[in-house]
Amino acid sequence: MDVFPGVRGLAAACFFAALTLTACGNRYDLATERGRQARIDGANFHLSKGECAAALESIWPLYQSEFADDEVRLVTASAYACEGTFNLLALVGNIADVSNPFQALAKTLKNKPNDAARAAMYQASDILTQSQTVMSASLRSPAVNSYMVFLQFGIIGAVIRNYGSPALDGTQGATLVYDTTSNPAGEMSNEDACALAGSLAMIVDSFAYSSISDPSTQGVAGQLESICTSYTGQSCAMLNKARTACNGTNTASQAAQLVVAGVNAAW
């Protein structure tokens, strides 16, 4: 007769628990393809539920590792964009066959003036440009450039929502202000003004190296290009793409001022 059935049962339970814990630990082992995929799958699961912080927590160890590639960067950028209230499906729906892209972009995001959304969107862009070292679309893959186009649409939306006081339908409520000769009240920061101009540059540049072919997105990109050529005299792709380039008076700032004027006129 077994006089220690409880002890034996407890030992068995502990043994199987140890196996389970070990298996769970190996599930996220970045040295294995299975572990890396588990990180990606976990982040995508959280993104599908709108759980931005959890998605970033899931993908971050892989992004910080030697195994970071375009897929990992795209998921990481998506997690930051999620924190910036960016919703790709909503954006695609809003820009379909629109005559006023800025109105469509303004109503897509949900950020409020001076919140953290713009910083999150900027971080997402930095992930895809690898800390602003890969600014030319020719150096990025079609997949990254395709997402970059929509991400920069989101940045435009975040910036103009911050300064333009849009109505619920995206209609402009306040004039965007950026001046290289004075400092009027309510003026955009150098970073935000350069980010707005840089987004137009990134969209046109990235579109040319993307796999996007739908006419709605192509039409919006064309409308943005017309603003650049009309107000700056050159293609958007030729403008400075770094949001850190403006100091309030330099050439990048002057170009940003012209772009802001173009956006006001088009919005």
Q: Are 189 and 200 in contact (CB under 8 A)?
A: no
Of 219, 46, 80, 237, which is closest to residue 158 (Cα–Cα)? 80
Does the pLDDT value for residue 187 go beyond 60? yes
Q: What confidence tier does 89 reach under pLDDT thresholds 50, 70, 90? A: very high
Question: For residue 137, what is the DSSP state?
Answer: G
For position 33, what pLDDT does the model report?
96
User: Looking at the chain, how many residues does it have?
Assistant: 267
Residue 26 pLDDT:
60
Judge whether residue 79 has pLDDT over 50: yes
Question: In this predicted model, what pLDDT tens digit does every residue of 11-68 receive, in sequence order?
Answer: 444 333 334 434 444 688 999 999 999 999 999 999 999 999 999 999 999 999 999 9
- Integer Cα distance of 60 and 220 in angstroms: 33
Contact at 8 Å (CB) between 255 and 246? no
What's the token pair of residue 36?
A: 């890396």
Quote the pLDDT of residue 28.
Answer: 86
d(CA 221, CA 215): 10
The tokens for 222 are 């064309």
Give the tokens for residue 92.
């695609």
Nearest to 188, CA basis, from 200, 174, 199, 178:
178
Q: What's the pLDDT tens digit per position in 190-246?
A: 999 999 999 999 999 999 999 999 999 999 999 999 999 999 999 999 999 999 999
Query: Tokens 């940003």 label which residue?
Result: 256
pLDDT in tens, 99-129: 999 999 999 999 999 999 999 999 999 999 9
CB atoms within 10 A of CB 234: 11
Longest dimension (CA), the chain: 96
Report the alpha-carbon distance of residue 67 to residue 46 in Å, rounded: 21
Q: What is the pLDDT of residue 12?
A: 42
200 near 230, Cβ under 8 Å?
no
The pLDDT tens digits for 133-183 are 999 999 999 999 999 999 999 999 999 999 999 999 999 999 999 999 999
pTM of the model: 0.89
Instruction: Please give the pLDDT value at position 97.
Output: 86
Token pair listed for 253: 């700032």
